[in-house]
Amino acid sequence: MLITSNVFLLFLDDNQSKIDDVKIIFLDVGQGDATIVDAGGSVQILIDGGDGEKILEKLGQYMPLLDRKIELLILTHPDKDHMGGLVEVLKYYEVRQILETGIACETAICQQWDKLVEEKNIPIKYAEFGQRINVNGIDIKILYPFDNLKDVKMKDDNDASIILRIDMEDNSYLLTGDAGFVLEEKLLEKNINIEATILKIAHHGSKNATSNEFLRKVNPQTAIIPVGKNSYGHPTEELLNRLKNLNIEFFRTDEAGDLVFE
Ligand SMILES: [Zn+2]
């Protein structure tokens, strides 16, 4: 199924239309990446889930007590530090819809994912430029992939990460999965509007992501680095220096914990 430009409808119950406070929470899930878009009351979009069960604890903390439904799961790319936690979420929550790239993946975690999605019969959409999700005044635009990547074999799945921009109240947020220089270059070449006040730093602060050119184009006031204890040297000095030189304030989830924007 090829989805062209469209507005993406969430499956909501009648009593879910009440507009409440909206917020975005960048979660401290250790070395990994997970973000909750809380669209008010009982509507949640979860973008990646870190690895392991930590995400369940966080959802318990931030979701209403009796709410066991996640309206949309977005998997930016099928690496364990993003997908592992979402597999746990699939086990314990009712997930109403999934947005992913569907790139070819044979790992154990992908097999678990496929099995759970099939068992629970969860509708999947494949991400593509131009898709939009509108809910309670929050506008999410899919900026990458440019084309449907279903079953495409990638050499480096980081560079097939879903890139999305969220406009919410006075702020805009750019989330770039684990995209590296190669994917940033593609976005710059196409001259897509990637400006945002808040940038979620890609690939946990790898030196091979978030170039100076990319940072200048995004022009964020604030950067969020989702990172935990790791052996890769994340976040790297190179990346931190780029942020400092451009006077971008930054917060690391390993030092600051969960970061809530209202
Ligand atoms: Zn990652």
Q: What is the pLDDT of residues 220-233, one digit of tens each?
A: 999 999 999 988 98
Alpha helices in the chain (DSSP H): 54-62, 80-92, 108-120, 181-190, 212-218, 237-245, 253-256
Residue 247: is it exposed, middle or buried by C-beta count within 10 angstroms (0-12/13-18/19+)?
A: exposed
In this prediction, residues 82-98 reach a mean pLDDT of 96
More confident residue, 92 or 8: 92
Residue 183 CA to ligand 1 center (angstroms) comes to 15
Domain covering 21-261: architecture: 4-Layer Sandwich (3.60)
Cα 16 to averaged position of ligand 1 atoms, centre (Å)? 32
pTM: 0.92
Q: Taking 80 as the threshold, does the pLDDT of residue 4 lie above it?
A: no
- 229 phi-psi bin (left φ>0, alpha ψ -120 to 50, beta other): beta
* Ligand 1 centre distance from Cα of residue 178 (Å): 5
What rounded mean pLDDT belongs to the chain? 91
**Between the CA of residue 219 and those of 140, 197, 214, what are the distances in Å?**
19, 7, 8
Q: How far is the CA of 32 from the centre of ligand 1 (A)?
A: 5
C-alpha 40 – ligand 1 centre gap (Å) = 28
Task: Give 9's DSSP letter.
Answer: P
| Residues, Cβ < 5 Å to ion ligand 1 | 81, 178
